[in-house]
Amino acid sequence: MSVGQFPVRASLRMVQLRSLKISFQNSRGSILGCFQSRCYFESLSHFVLGSSMSQRACSQPSVALSIRRFSSIRHCNFMHKTFPRLNANWGAGMNGKTNNGSTGSNGNKSSGNKGNNNNNNNNNNNNNNNPMGNFSWKDWVVPTLFMFLLMNGMGMSSADRGAQLTFQDFKVNYLSKGLVRRVVVINGAYAEAELMSGIPRHVGFTIGSPDVFDREMEEAQEKLRIPSNERIPISYETRTSIWTYIMPFVPTLLLVGGGYYLLMQMRKRGPKGTGGPFDSIMNVGKSKAKLFNQDTNIKVKFKDVAGCDEAKAEIMEFVNFLKQPQRYERLGAKIPRGAILAGPPGTGKTLLAKATAGEAGVPFLSVSGSEFVEMFVGVGASRVRDLFATARKLAPSIIFIDEIDAIGGAREKSPMRANDEKEATLNQLLVEMDGFDTSDHVVVLAGTNRSDMLDKALLRPGRFDRHIYLDKPDIEGRKAIYKVHLRPIKLKEPVTDTFAGRLAAMTPGFSGADIANCCNEAALIAARHNANYVELKDFEQAIERVIVGLANKTRVLSPEEKKTVAYHEAGHAICGWYLKYADPLLKVSIIPRGQAALGYAQYLPPDQYLISREQFQHKMIMALGGRVSEELHFPSVTTGAADDLQKVTKMANAMVLKLGLSKKLGTIVFEPKDTQMQVHKPFSEETFEVIDTEVHRLINDAHARCKELLTSKIDEVDKVAKELLKKEVITRDDMIRLLGPRPFKEQNDAFRKYLLPKDENGGENPHNDSGKPEPEPVA
């Protein structure tokens, strides 16, 4: 009996048994199809044979994805399509039942007599309504493949094994009835009996061991009195599953597949345009330079770079060359290939390079020296090659390498300390700069804070022929930079020369970046107070914040500590007031600020390039003012002068060792360069002793002179300290009120020009601020 001729009786029995049904559903819950294990059909045939084995037979490994009432099989298109005859019979059976008034599989009550045609129509309707129709073959492939593999994975398909029995069942139902043609023992563990005819063709059962099975078969046949020449032949086979071959490769396949999938995911999720880490591996040798051109529109122009006119003039030549190369070439001039922009941090090197590109209107490739450095040898060199190749393609163009010291540092002489990757990168840079001739119209600009440590080969003419030094701006430079950065700031009045000059005078030693930061801070402070404009007081606060840090409100000093700080700062202030070469005093405060300062006195040093011996000595006396004041006013001194003492020692050492300002030691310098390690002392023991005594003498002298000064001004120190304790902050005006005008003319011209009130600094007082003759400086 074939499955196609499946009788109604059997199907009804199955409904009662609530047998297995495998269904595939998509994510929306629609049934894609269902699948009935062969064992299931085989088990049906056992019912037909009147066997009670079907339930056991259905205990085939659990392949069911969902177990439902068998009746819902009506929705299974797969069954309808695959087994049309079964489908027809099935429909007849089910509907035959419902026609009799019982509840149909879908719970609907049917009425009226409808023949098979109607049933088929119903089925067709069901098919049409079936959501499965919307799915493509792809929806079938994965689940079907999965099922196939799963069933193979169970060792052998149910078709291989036939119905599952016990040896006892086999003896009673098959052997004793003479239905068995032959038996095959598979893998020594499973016996498959081929039947004479009918369905199933095979039945099977597990055995303990072949020997025992042989014996039991012998005994069973003996008991059944089967003559020895008619005994069932038993053969032995070894069968292997497809999985036996596949399984060893599965971990590898999973690893490779998983890795590939992860890479793909990372690539998808990487930052836009970069392609994620996958791309970074692939493009490891590519230059990371950022390209700016007319499209990306470099908005920086020379007018935005203030206070470095000489540097601008130098670099302007590059711009002219890139704009009109023939003007130079027709006279046989070769334009310099590159320029090193050197100088302290924040002095506008990058800004100047950008402005050059902005003015020239040519592509600008900007890269940082550190971007060439990679763990792998050769990557840096490859990036350099790529950078220059790109620049040549885009010519005329500008390459800007910021922080070139990262790759251009002097090569190590000792092989022990050599760095292959760094040297390979530098060599490639040297080659590329030699390699392109001036007709390439590529200009290389490089920025560094440490031009002293660059390799000499890089600096020779023909490579970086121009060395442009950008120093911290002087008062006029600062004024110009303030004017640039005040442009976007909302002030009450338009920026005047005096306003910018006043700010510039208050910020000696500030770099362009400091000034930009200061302007921004002032705007932030004004915004914090909800002000409509940014005012001078906001700038003053911002400057104070940049110089000495934020007021430290959490650091609370005891009254005793506060008194010590007040006298300490008053000592500094008095020294500053009565010493001829002291810088103008702006403010004294005993409010703790920043990390360590418990108080501070703010002076305005001039832009000064030469310092005399007297000026040095006065600076040392001023620095010692705090400690000496403590000595004079308290029984014991504190640690508060640690920083001052460090400064004084440094100054004394510099005077003796570096500046030739010691009379005893004379004009000899012993200060080693910062870059060199000092192994041997470059002086004899006698000279060492002289140095030692000279340093001591200078400090002791300064201390004695400071003590002399503060003892003579003990009342003034007292007044200032008391005022400080009362107000915490005193200004120059308070000092004038307490002590009278300073007896010396201020040395700082910028201070006199922008910060001194007119009446204090009128043309009538050429000598000093008080109008009295200057006293003799403290000798």
Ligand X SMILES: Nc1ncnc2c1ncn2[C@@H]1O[C@H](COP(=O)(O)OP(=O)(O)OP(=O)(O)O)[C@@H](O)[C@H]1O
Rounded to a whole number of angstroms, the minimum distance from the CB of residue 369 to ligand X is 11
Cβ proximity of 31 and 80 under 8 Å: no
Instruction: Give the residue, chosen from 143, 346, 408, 599, that forms a contact with ligand X under the rule CB under 6 A.
Output: 346
Q: Which stretch binds ligand X (CB under 6 A): 17-25, 343-351, 581-589, 743-751?
A: 343-351
Q: Which of 42, 194, 569, 631 is catalytic?
A: 569
Nearer to ligand X, 350 or 662 (CB): 350
Query: What mask of x and - would describe binding to ligand X in positions 36 to 75, judged by CB under 6 A?
Result: ----------------------------------------
Query: What mask of x and - would describe binding to ligand X in positions 457 to 486, judged by CB under 6 A?
Result: ------------------------x--x--
Q: Which of 444, 508, 500, 499 is nearest to 306 (CA)?
A: 500
Rounded to a whole number of angstroms, the minimum distance from the CB of residue 512 to ligand X is 2
- Helices 714-727 and 685-712 cross at an angle (nearest 10°) of 80
H-type alpha helices, 549-673: 559-578, 613-633, 642-653
Cβ proximity of 287 and 392 under 8 Å: no
Cβ proximity of 568 and 626 under 8 Å: yes
Nearer to ligand X, 480 or 622 (CB): 480
Task: Write out the two tokens for 39.
Answer: 């064992």
Cβ proximity of 720 and 588 under 8 Å: yes
Q: Which stretch binds ligand X (CB under 6 A): 348-356, 459-467, 530-538, 716-724?
A: 348-356
Nearer to ligand X, 190 or 464 (CB): 464
Nearer to ligand X, 99 or 448 (CB): 448
Instruction: Give the residue, chosen from 183, 351, 717, 778, that forms a contact with ligand X under the rule CB under 6 A.
Output: 351
Rounded to a whole number of angstroms, the minimum distance from the CB of residue 451 to ligand X is 11
Task: Write out the two tokens for 112.
Answer: 């009226």
Instruction: Give the residue, chosen from 153, 345, 462, 660, that forms a contact with ligand X under the rule CB under 6 A.
Output: 345
Cα–Cα distance between 314 and 308 in angstroms, integer? 10
Task: Write out the two tokens for 428.
Answer: 């490639």
Residue 348 found at the interface with ligand X (CB under 6 A): yes
Q: What is the DSSP letter of 593?
A: B
Rounded to a whole number of angstroms, the minimum distance from the CB of residue 370 to ligand X is 12
Cβ proximity of 32 and 143 under 8 Å: yes
Rounded to a whole number of angstroms, the minimum distance from the CB of residue 447 to ligand X is 5
Of all residues in this chain, which one has the CB nearest to ligand X in the complex? 512
Which residues, other chains included, contact 634 with Cβ-Cβ below 8 Å and sequence gap of 6+?
564, 567
Residue in the block written with tokens 């070894």:
238
Nearer to ligand X, 445 or 721 (CB): 445
Burial class (CB in 10 A: 0-12, 13-18, 19+), 610: exposed
Q: Which of 736, 729, 732, 738 is nearest to 565 (CA)?
A: 729
Nearer to ligand X, 404 or 739 (CB): 404
Cα–Cα distance between 380 and 377 in angstroms, integer? 7
Q: Which of 174, 176, 154 is nearest to 163 (CA)?
A: 174
Task: Write out the two tokens for 455.
Answer: 């390799």
Nearer to ligand X, 519 or 656 (CB): 519
CA 23, 24, 25: angle at the middle one, nearest 5?
A: 120
Q: How many CA atoms lie within 13 A of 309 on its CB side?
A: 5
Rounded to a whole number of angstroms, the minimum distance from the CB of residue 445 to ligand X is 11
Rounded to a whole number of angstroms, the minimum distance from the CB of residue 293 to ligand X is 20
Instruction: Give the residue, chosen from 95, 158, 221, 347, that forms a contact with ligand X under the rule CB under 6 A.
Output: 347
Phi, psi of 398 (to 5 degrees): -125, 135
Phi, psi of 341 (to 5 degrees): -100, 110
Ramachandran area for residue 348 (φ above 0: left; ψ -120 to 50: alpha; else beta): left
Cα–Cα distance between 647 and 644 in angstroms, integer? 5
Nearer to ligand X, 512 or 584 (CB): 512
Q: Which of 696, 731, 569, 694 is nearest to 643 (CA)?
A: 569
Query: What mask of x and - would describe binding to ligand X in positions 417 to 456, judged by CB under 6 A?
Result: ------------------------------x-x-------
Active site residue 728: no
Q: Which DSSP string do the residues of 701-757 spell out, in sequence order?
A: HHHHHHHHHHHHTHHHHHHHHHHHHHHSEEEHHHHHHHH-S-SS--S-HHIIIIIS-
Strand order in the sheet with 585-589: 600-603, 585-589, 729-731
Query: What mask of x and - would describe binding to ligand X in positions 221 to 260, judged by CB under 6 A?
Result: ----------------------------------------
Q: Between residue 512 and residue 531, which ones bind ligand X under the rule CB under 6 A?
A: 512-513, 516
Cα–Cα distance between 165 and 42 in angstroms, integer? 13
Q: Between residue 129 and residue 148, which ones bind ligand X under the rule CB under 6 A?
A: none
Task: Write out the two tokens for 215.
Answer: 């014996």
Q: Between residue 267 and residue 306, which ones bind ligand X under the rule CB under 6 A?
A: 305-306
Cis peptide leading into residue 233 (ω within 30°): no
Provide the b/e sequence for 110-121 (b: ≥16 CB within 10 Å).
beeeeeeeebee
Residue 599 found at the interface with ligand X (CB under 6 A): no
Number of residues that bind ligand X (CB under 6 A): 18
Q: Which stretch binds ligand X (CB under 6 A): 322-330, 342-350, 436-444, 543-551?
A: 342-350
Residue 384 found at the interface with ligand X (CB under 6 A): no
Nearer to ligand X, 110 or 366 (CB): 366
Query: What mask of x and - would describe binding to ligand X in positions 306 to 335, judged by CB under 6 A?
Result: xxx---------------------------
Q: Which of 585, 590, 583 is nearest to 567 (CA)?
A: 590
Cα–Cα distance between 22 and 772 in angstroms, integer? 112
Rounded to a whole number of angstroms, the minimum distance from the CB of residue 454 to ligand X is 14
Report the interface residues with ligand X, using CB under 6 A: 305-308, 345-351, 447, 449, 481, 484, 512-513, 516
Q: Just list the catalytic residues.
A: 569
